[in-house]
């Protein structure tokens, strides 16, 4: 039986669900639209990029089926600022409660704080190959794109409140309108409440309060309304998140949006609002688990453990980062810098499977891995197998061959060729990029925890003797001779002792002339490495 690769990967299965949803619709989709939100109130982290990558992959999967598709990246830039992120000026505390699109950029490079934050994520998206149509929520409200949906929700706010209560057990919106006005006096958004709605206008009072926070100091900040009463347009505010997604989905005719486990309740409410109030079948969803740091704590936009896409791309390829996002959705993933070499090697393994250099006996698993590789390559896999080389080994080699060494690239290339870790024909630019990633990792993060080489007591003894006799003033030829003599004195075949030297220093069985290599790396550094094998 020949397996259909387009039916075994989660992206392709979701396209089937999107097409099943389409059959229920009275008004058919001319264009299939996927969406993800861009948080604009805090520093965008790698989890934020995950939302974008998943939505983009469904966009690609739809196109792969011959369907017209678009991907919208929607910035939540009318949200109010609740927390000052770590590393931001303390005077930003004065803007807590204001829409992020109305706050000046504290760094002076963008029109607003919200635009600054959105630009960070857009930069990361572009670097990992995600193409998108940018939409500002602030513009959606200003231009009245969601007017019809807003009016329907405000007109029937009691019903919305009952749905919210049913789905979340929260009773607040059985008495209040699920809408925040931007106060025309103080400019804050979360301190207002609507007292009446009529003729497309809302009457409101700014008398609520909430707790903000400075994440740098940990200080909680009580933000209070100014007491102002007024009347304004529905375009001068925003829907509460328990109904906002629904309005946006209908107004933009969204077919798909993934979401994280942390907003599951919100999605349930918005799905119900779609069906019961807006006469719209909610988009197909994909529920995914969250990224956590090594300690098990969820990565946050406002805390100091922000792991941005740009950080990953200093040490790993766009393909490795896309793989992180595309593997199974339904389990929590630990994200730290030491995951990067692992994912670099996983991408190489997928390439080997795809091009038939690694045999996978299970047909279903083989088809799944090949389809995963196609998505990692944005459904444009290379015609020939790209360069693959153990990233862990490359890090080990870069760790012992300092950046300052003359002809460093040629030395590293020679080591890889002699150990047959490189094919005879390879792309020099690819190798240079891989060495750059590995070098950055060594310099900024440190050596990975490579398993120690298993040595016999005789090998350890010979290494110890070699280390004691090795001196700074020796020439490369004298070091080469010392290796031969030490092997013979300890009744070890010189060939085997040279192999031990290479394995201890580089983690591989062969390399350039050992005496020259040790001289290049430096006697002091070599002694440090050998000392680990006492």
Domains delineated in the chain = 5-291 (3.40.50.620), 337-444 (1.10.10.770), 457-531 (1.10.10.350)
The rounded distance, in Å, linking the Cα atoms of 317 and 387 is 13
**pLDDT digit string, tens, across residues 199-240:** 899 999 999 999 999 888 889 999 999 999 999 999 999 999
Percent of the chain with pLDDT strictly greater than 90: 66
The rounded distance, in Å, linking the Cα atoms of 253 and 250 is 5
The rounded distance, in Å, linking the Cα atoms of 65 and 19 is 11
Residues 6 or more apart from 19 whose CB is under 8 A from it? none
The rounded distance, in Å, linking the Cα atoms of 339 and 323 is 11
Phi, psi of 260 (to 5 degrees): -90, 160
In this predicted structure, what is the pLDDT of residue 183? 98
Of the candidates 138, 140, 131, the one whose C-alpha atom is nearest the C-alpha of residue 71 is: 131
403: left (phi over 0), alpha (psi -120 to 50) or beta: alpha
The rounded distance, in Å, linking the Cα atoms of 369 and 242 is 38
* pTM beyond cutoff 0.85: yes
pLDDT for 395 beyond 50: yes
Of the candidates 124, 135, 240, the one whose C-alpha atom is nearest the C-alpha of residue 189 is: 240
Q: What is the mean pLDDT of residues 368-394?
A: 95
Q: What is the mean pLDDT of residues 493-515?
A: 86
Q: Cβ atoms within 10 A of the Cβ of 117, count?
A: 26
The band of 261, judged by pLDDT with boundaries at 50, 70 and 90, is confident
How many separate helices (H) and strands (E) can be counted in the chain? 20, 15
The band of 469, judged by pLDDT with boundaries at 50, 70 and 90, is very high
**pLDDT digit string, tens, across residues 152-181:** 999 999 999 999 999 998 898 998 999 999
The rounded distance, in Å, linking the Cα atoms of 436 and 434 is 5
Beta bridge partners of 75: 38, 136
Residues 6 or more apart from 62 whose CB is under 8 A from it? 15, 18, 32, 34, 69
In this predicted structure, what is the pLDDT of residue 295? 43
Beta bridge partners of 259: 287
Dihedral angle computed from the Cα positions of residues 378, 14, 24 and 255, in that order, rounded to the nearest 10 degrees:
-50
Dihedral angle computed from the Cα positions of residues 157, 163, 166 and 171, in that order, rounded to the nearest 10 degrees:
-20
Poorest-confidence range of 181-185, 373-377, 444-448? 444-448
Dmax over CA atoms of the chain, in Å, equals 99
Residues 6 or more apart from 161 whose CB is under 8 A from it? 171, 172, 173, 174, 175, 176, 178
3-state secondary structure of 156: coil
* Residue 316, Cβ density class (10 Å: 0-12 exposed, 13-18 middle, ≥19 buried): buried
In this predicted structure, what is the pLDDT of residue 448? 57
CB distance 65 to 11 below 8 Å? no
Q: Cβ atoms within 10 A of the Cβ of 186, count?
A: 18
Of the candidates 456, 459, 457, 469, the one whose C-alpha atom is nearest the C-alpha of residue 501 is: 459
The rounded distance, in Å, linking the Cα atoms of 221 and 202 is 28
pLDDT for 501 beyond 80: yes
């Amino acid at each position: 039986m020949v397996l259909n690769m387009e039916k075994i990967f989660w992206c392709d299965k979701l396209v089937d669900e999107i097409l099943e949803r389409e059959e229920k619709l009275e008004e058919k989709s001319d264009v299939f639209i996927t969406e993800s939100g861009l948080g604009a109130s805090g520093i965008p982290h790698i989890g934020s990029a995950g939302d974008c990558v998943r939505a983009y992959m469904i966009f690609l999967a739809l196109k792969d089926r011959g369907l017209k598709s678009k991907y919208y990246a929607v910035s939540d830039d009318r949200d109010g600022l609740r927390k000052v992120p770590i590393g931001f000026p303390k005077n930003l505390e004065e803007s807590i409660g204001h829409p992020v699109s109305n706050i000046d950029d504290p760094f002076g490079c963008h029109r607003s704080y919200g635009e600054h934050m959105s630009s960070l994520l857009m930069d990361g998206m572009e670097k990992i190959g995600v193409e998108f149509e940018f939409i500002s929520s602030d513009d959606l409200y200003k231009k009245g794109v969601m007017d019809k949906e807003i009016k329907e929700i405000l007109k029937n706010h009691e019903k919305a409140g009952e749905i919210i209560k049913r789905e979340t057990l929260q009773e607040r919106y059985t008495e209040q309108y699920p809408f925040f006005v931007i106060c025309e006096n103080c400019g804050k958004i979360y301190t207002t409440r609507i007292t009446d709605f009529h003729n497309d206008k809302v009457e409101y009072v700014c008398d609520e309060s909430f707790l903000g926070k400075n994440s740098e100091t940990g200080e909680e900040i009580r933000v209070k309304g100014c007491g102002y009463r007024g009347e304004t347009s529905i375009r001068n505010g925003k829907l509460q998140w328990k109904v906002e997604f629904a309005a946006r989905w209908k107004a933009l005719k969204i077919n798909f949006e993934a979401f994280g486990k942390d907003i599951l309740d919100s999605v349930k409410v918005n799905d119900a609002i779609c069906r019961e109030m807006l006469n719209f079948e909610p988009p197909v969803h994909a529920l995914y688990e969250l990224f956590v740091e090594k300690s098990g704590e969820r990565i946050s936009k406002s805390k100091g453990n922000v792991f941005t896409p740009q950080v990953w791309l200093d040490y790993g390829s766009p393909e490795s980062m896309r793989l992180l996002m595309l593997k199974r959705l339904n389990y929590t993933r630990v994200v730290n810098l030491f995951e990067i070499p692992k994912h670099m090697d996983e991408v190489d393994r997928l390439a080997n499977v795809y091009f038939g250099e690694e045999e996978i006996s299970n047909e279903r698993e083989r088809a799944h891995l090949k389809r995963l590789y196609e998505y990692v390559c944005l459904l444009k896999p290379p015609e020939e197998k790209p360069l693959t080389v153990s990233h862990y080994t490359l890090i080990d080699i870069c760790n012992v061959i300092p950046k300052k060494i003359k002809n460093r690239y040629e030395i590293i290339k020679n080591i890889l060729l002699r150990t047959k870790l490189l094919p005879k024909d390879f792309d020099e630019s690819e190798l240079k990029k891989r060495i750059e990633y590995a070098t950055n990792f060594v310099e900024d993060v440190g050596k990975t925890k490579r398993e120690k080489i298993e040595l016999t007591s005789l090998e350890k003894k010979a290494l110890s003797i070699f280390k004691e006799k090795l001196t700074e003033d020796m020439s490369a030829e004298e070091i080469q001779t010392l290796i031969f003599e030490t092997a013979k004195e300890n009744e070890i075949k010189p060939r085997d002792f040279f192999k031990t030297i290479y394995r201890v220093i580089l983690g591989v069985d062969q390399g350039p002339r050992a005496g020259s290599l040790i001289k290049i790396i430096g006697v002091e550094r070599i002694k440090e490495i050998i000392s680990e094998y006492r």
